[in-house]
């Protein structure tokens, strides 16, 4: 009998989590949820409302506004904020620079974790982020912790941004990635950590196809019922 799993994918920034999570969701007919996009949307909201003066977020004003922000994640991967399509805007370097500060605010995390739990309540979801296997869904059926060399991640992100016509330097990207790794791992609330029951995958030298083969094997080996999900009995 088919059981709709909850799959948690955590790991460092620009490690290919979203691409991998989206591909797994497509393979299983599940919903993909990019939790990082939600932290980015809150950050963009703060920037647009002048609440990040001198690089420091105005916590009180931001927290007071959380209930009024309308963040929507669409099945086609687009993200909207108060009805405005912000899919590209949330990927800007400016948002990337402030998102760690915003995501270390406890009330912001509590608010988004509650929304994420609501989205995954019925299972059949693949959610990627930093604290999915540890905090959002500690009982997830499958937990994957994705890692890759920072230089490899910087190069991938650089290629993506250049392909999208964004003028950036590889050195700036790598610096931002290393800073975010540090901030993600050292923040006091819900730091990036591997859940003890997460399986680690280093994808530095793997294609997406190879990662999919790996996850299919993992699903095969993780339980009899899970094989049905791949429609292979």
Q: Helix 170-186 to helix 93-103 angle, to the nearest 10 degrees?
A: 10
Site residues for ligand DC per CB under 6 A:
13, 35-36, 39-40, 99-100, 103, 129-132, 180, 184
For ligand DC, the closer of residues 99 and 140 by Cβ is: 99
For ligand DC, the closer of residues 130 and 226 by Cβ is: 130
Alpha helices in 8-143 (DSSP H): 17-28, 35-48, 59-65, 93-103, 106-119
Please choose, from the candidates 162, 189, 141, 121, the residue with its C-alpha nearest in 3D space to the C-alpha of residue 7.
141
For ligand DC, the closer of residues 51 and 229 by Cβ is: 51
Least distance in Å: CB of 128 to ligand DC? 7
Q: Give the up-direction half-sphere exposure of residue 123: CA atoms within 13 A in the CB hemisphere.
A: 10
For ligand DC, the closer of residues 128 and 226 by Cβ is: 128
Least distance in Å: CB of 224 to ligand DC? 31
Least distance in Å: CB of 64 to ligand DC? 21
Structure tokens at 109: 């995390």
Least distance in Å: CB of 93 to ligand DC? 12
Least distance in Å: CB of 152 to ligand DC? 15
Q: 181-194 as b/e, with b when 16 or more CB fall inside 10 Å?
A: bebbeebeebebbb
Cα dihedral 225, 212, 146, 136 in deg (nearest 10): -40
Give how far the C-alpha of residue 99 lies from the chain's centroid of Cα atoms, to the nearest Å.
12
Least distance in Å: CB of 147 to ligand DC? 14
* H or E segment to which residue 209 belongs: helix 208-222
For ligand DC, the closer of residues 11 and 229 by Cβ is: 11
* H or E segment to which residue 142 belongs: strand 142-147
For ligand DC, the closer of residues 140 and 229 by Cβ is: 140
For ligand DC, the closer of residues 131 and 229 by Cβ is: 131
Please choose, from the candidates 71, 98, 95, the residue with its C-alpha nearest in 3D space to the C-alpha of residue 82.
71
Least distance in Å: CB of 169 to ligand DC? 19
């Amino acid at each position: 009998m088919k059981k709709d799993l909850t799959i948690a994918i955590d790991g460092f920034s620009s490690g290919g989590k979203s691409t991998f999570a989206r591909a797994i969701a497509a393979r299983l007919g599940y919903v993909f949820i990019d939790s990082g996009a939600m932290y980015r949307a809150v950050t963009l909201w703060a920037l647009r409302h002048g609440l990040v003066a001198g690089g420091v977020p105005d916590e009180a004003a931001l927290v007071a506004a959380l209930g009024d922000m309308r963040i929507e994640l669409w099945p086609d991967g687009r993200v909207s904020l108060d009805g405005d399509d912000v899919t590209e805007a949330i990927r800007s370097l400016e948002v990337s620079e402030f998102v760690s500060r915003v995501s270390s605010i406890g009330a912001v995390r509590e608010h988004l974790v509650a929304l994420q739990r609501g989205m995954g309540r019925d299972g059949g979801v693949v959610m990627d982020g930093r604290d999915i296997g540890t905090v959002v869904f500690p009982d997830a059926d499958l937990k994957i912790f994705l890692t890759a060399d920072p230089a490899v991640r910087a190069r991938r992100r650089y290629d993506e941004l250049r392909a999208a016509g964004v003028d950036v330097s590889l050195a700036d990207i790598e610096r931002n990635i290393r800073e975010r790794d540090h901030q993600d791992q050292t923040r006091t609330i819900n730091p990036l950590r591997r859940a003890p029951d997460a399986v680690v995958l280093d994808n530095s030298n793997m294609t997406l196809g190879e990662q999919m083969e790996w996850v299919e094997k993992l699903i095969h080996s993780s339980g009899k019922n899970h094989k049905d999900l791949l429609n292979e009995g």
